[in-house]
Copies of this chain bind each other. A is one copy, B any other.
Amino acid sequence: MKEKLFKKICIFGVGLIGGSIGMAIKKNGLANEVIGVGRDIERLRKAVLAGAVDTVTTDYTAEVKDADLIILSMHINSSLEAAKKIAPFLKKDAVVTDVGSTKELFCKKMQKVLPNGIHFVGAHPIAGLERQGVDVANSELFNGAVCVITKTSKTNKNALLKVKKLWNKVGADVVFCSPSQHDKLVALTSHLPHIAAVSLVNVLGKTDSIDRDLKLVVGNGFRDTTRIASSSPEMWQEICATNKKNILTSLSRFRKSLDRLYKLIAESDSKKLTKEFEKAQSIRKRII
């Protein structure tokens, strides 16, 4: 029998991302055993039924002793708590990875939490939906997606390669990046758009009296622009807390750009306004 990439994988948190990883690992035969770990036994059972994991447990320490890969895919703070709990039980050379949306703070904390001989590799698959839970998980979620893997001077090379291999095998393109560079980039491409979408929706909230009419004229533009505003509030609060500096910098730049457009509209400067719109069109073409 060909040796698998991992013998035993424990996935902490089997929602959309954790569940999809489990499904993709099982589908591609990347481990002998995939264990789902979590707090809610009902949700864990759903993950077994969905085919995301082989077995499940709510006992954080029981199954990790002989695991060679731990995937933390809960919310940021919960993942950190779980790491603290299991740290003393992990075997030598076990690899710990995550799927969190912010990396700098988390990587630093993991460095402190995990003892020597346990290797942490931060990862962030850029694939998500505004819906949550194992019900919407699927084995193809990462197919064609980008997964950022963070690399520092302390990252163990062997562990890095194994985590890279895992993401490649489930169909993702891997990009290496420092944790701080990652956080700067996603502040602009993910966190800022999210905050803008939340404000675009919340601005409508003050117009209760025209609710019915608003509903009628909402088009695809609004639907798409604000889709991400339906994501998990708890998760986004944690993202803001753990990438505060970069998000505030991005927000300041965004406000400056809005102020410029406000001024051009107020002054009816059609030439410069058209130029701003053309600029957006060409930058978007370059980036997407």
A-side residues, CB < 8 A to B, are 126-128, 145-146, 148, 175, 177, 181-182, 184-186, 188-190, 192-207, 210-211, 213-231, 233-234, 236-237, 240-241, 244, 247-248, 250-255, 257-259, 261-262, 265-266, 268, 270, 273-281, 283-288
Contact A225 B211 (CB under 8 A): no
6 additional A-B residue pairs with CB within 8 Å, beyond A193-B221, A202-B280, A230-B280: A146-B216, A184-B210, A186-B217, A202-B276, A225-B227, A244-B265
Residue in contact with A274 in the complex, picked from B197, B233, B274, B280, CB distance below 8 Å: B233
Contacts of A258 on B, CB cut-off 8 Å?
A: 195-196, 199, 251, 254-255, 258
Contact A253 B146 (CB under 8 A): no
The answer for the CA separation of A271 and B281 in the assembled complex, in Å, is 37
Contact A287 B214 (CB under 8 A): yes
The answer for the CA separation of A275 and B190 in the assembled complex, in Å, is 20
Contact A225 B224 (CB under 8 A): yes
> Given known contacts A221-B128, A225-B225, is B146 in contact with A283 (CB within 8 Å)?
no
Contact A198 B255 (CB under 8 A): no
Contact A261 B195 (CB under 8 A): yes
The 9 closest A-B pairs by CB, nearest first: A233-B277, A199-B257, A126-B219, A193-B225, A198-B280, A201-B280, A229-B280, A224-B224, A237-B274
